[in-house]
Chain A
């Protein structure tokens, strides 16, 4: 797995990830240039005007034009960042793809696991009820609901097909979590009481991971899930394998979340 991760930005498997990465690179080049230039000026000044015999400070300031240009330059650059990069990228990232095109998945976070809920072939999520929540049914899925009959649930593993937009609807059972897919440039806080959608489109297949990015308790550090992007045929095979009512096997107690081996 380490081939995806290193000392810089993680591998980008996301269709829109390149835009975000480009912004980050542009920003860092700008930051480094500005800092190096400014720091060189600082060091030069410190050396040139060091106190020494025969050297006296000047009372009157030179009238500098450079700072004004610098201020205006920085302000303009920030305007460019906002209008040219951040707003359009944010608009792209936030705008959900049309319903028919995208695959939809629900993820319900809890201490300390990700419950994944596929609507099944009918494309409709079955009803859930918190009264039905138990070790064998962490989502509280009401299997008597017709729409729920074909629903597929899984714990800590999210399978998606490559090159297809995916909408993930995020909610939480208990505390705030944050759904983080490093390779997909997706991060979204999961707020209890809300149902927040995010979307992405994988452009490469592979075995990646889901991380929790918001402190959610003792087990925050091990709230890891598997994020598997498959070729469409392999994905269909996986769905088919799980399609019968395979309830999630693990007891979802807070003490010991079970990570099924992949």
Chain B
């Protein structure tokens, strides 16, 4: 192919930095996402010191921070709030989404649908670099006077309106990130609709592609309202408007000199209009990855593929009309709160269907416990806990004592940490051979898995107990409240588990880089899988396939009776 020769002529910076190849961009997104995940995790590990040992100086590390953040090694409340706000922002917008959608989506969607690249390669490059700018802005905001945003990742005004200059940086960073996601989602939708290989009808798409497709629609239609909200908050902060400021505010004893007339709840509506679908942006690609890995490692088709597809589409649709369950305590009327409770209960049903189908897919299989499969299997109960604990929060009556407590933190972290992030780890172990041509170490992988599983539960399970006891989230010093004191030993336990969880990532980091050199070399299809990406060379060249793929069957034809092998690739014309 002359194209490939052509690509070899490109200078280094066009080939690896400002590349338009979806695989290079996918790797860029993936590496950036992983680094941000690590960074966001480090912020949390710092917070955990203050929570476990409030007011005590942080040993060794404490002296490295300037007076702006820590005095004599003791964390200031300002800094604690900054860490909290940025942990959330970084994990969601700079870590998980770029890794799940930007990284896995970019790399594997074109491969799984048999396309040579994304539909708009230059746009793809642009979205990565806009994301990069957003990341740089967010990191830089730590260094402006008085530090970065400190009003939580939700940035509720009026607090965020009157916050220090870091909040403005946060808003600008968010505008970059939102723009990047919008450009990316347009690209995904067009790619999936237009560039599927011949024979690859919608109901022959791997579930991962379906998940990315629905996710892209969520990004496309839910993100703009947050962009609008960000613009309004920027106007409030920079141009002195009062979109979110009602009349008659008195801050620190002095009347605020603004026109007033705004509504703080307007922000919450626009924010949660995005942020609830955003939860599904985090979870749907994870479900997609798990489905791929479960099918491959049970050696049998997914149970109820079609009902899973319908469920995921329905899930995406419903996610747009449940958002106000984050606002049950804002004084809304009983009719609207009933409406949002009903939609919230309805949305749980497709999640149950998907989870049940994945669990039933195991039945009758021949399960290989490879590292990716372990992570994917662990996803099921962990996501289950996350989903179930959403139930008390979705009903207004039980939400009253639990709202904004550690119960909420436990709930959504079960969904995104041992849920989504485990699925992302599974994906890394599963597709690493495709990207690099080498396998990751199974021994290190299993060490990574078991320790992560133990410690991550040690981190989040006690939070439910704390939440029931009524301990509020975002408290710099929980010992101030009598009702939070009895559970303080749990805080110490959580912190120790969190730091141990940090240590448990070392085998992964070693494995990730070490396997580039020492990993076992593999051919194109080391897992004996059926989907299209495995019929491209490992790593795939520019243009992806050395033949034009033609698809003959559904994505998960494993253990078909009468076949010589227990897998029947989608693009294999005759029996094998």
Contact = CB atoms under 8 A, between A and B. Distances in A.
Indicate if A touches B (C-beta under 8 A). yes
Interface of A: 1-2, 4-10, 19-20, 23-24, 27-28, 31, 34-35, 38-39, 41-42, 45-46, 49-52, 55-59, 61-62, 64, 67, 70-71, 74-75, 78-79, 81-82, 85-87, 89-91, 93-94, 110-111, 130-131, 133-135, 138, 140, 173-176, 178, 180, 182, 185-189, 191-194, 196, 209, 211-222, 224, 252-254
A10 B356 contact: no
Given A45-B359, A86-B396, A176-B264, A51 B158 contact: no
B362 A49 contact: yes
A57 B331 contact: no
B510 interface: no
A89 B485 contact: no
Interface of B: 77-78, 81, 84, 151-152, 156-159, 162, 245-253, 255-256, 262-265, 298-301, 303-304, 329-331, 334, 337-338, 341-342, 345, 348-349, 352-353, 356-357, 359-360, 362-369, 377, 380-381, 384-385, 388-389, 391-392, 395-398, 400-405, 465, 468-470, 472-478, 480-487, 490, 558-561, 566
A85 B303 contact: no
Nearest to A140: B250
Chain A binding surface SS class: mixed
A24 B349 contact: no
B389 A31 contact: yes
Contacts of B262: 193
Given A38-B359, A222-B477, A253-B252, A86 B559 contact: no
A185 B399 CA distance: 10
Nearest to B156: A176
Contacts of B362: 42, 45-46, 49
B251 to A, nearest CB: 5
B542 to A, nearest CB: 36
Contacts of A180: 470, 472
A70 B356 contact: yes
Nearest to A56: B366
A161 B380 CA distance: 50
A57 B559 contact: yes
A64 B473 CA distance: 42
B363 A45 contact: yes
Given A5-B485, A67-B360, A86 B349 contact: no
B398 A46 contact: no
B206 to A, nearest CB: 18
Nearest to A48: B363
Given A6-B486, A49-B366, A59-B561, 19 more contacts: A2-B482, A5-B482, A5-B484, A24-B398, A27-B392, A35-B384, A46-B362, A57-B559, A61-B304, A64-B360, A91-B334, A94-B334, A174-B251, A189-B330, A191-B264, A211-B481, A213-B472, A216-B159, A224-B481
Contacts of A19: 397
B259 to A, nearest CB: 13
Most buried by B among A2, A140, A220: A220
B472 A212 contact: yes
Nearest to A26: B398
Contact of A35 (B156, B304, B388): B388
Most buried by A among B465, B470, B484: B470
A74 B346 CA distance: 10
A138 B472 CA distance: 26
B357 to A, nearest CB: 8
Most buried by B among A135, A189, A254: A189
A173 B255 CA distance: 9
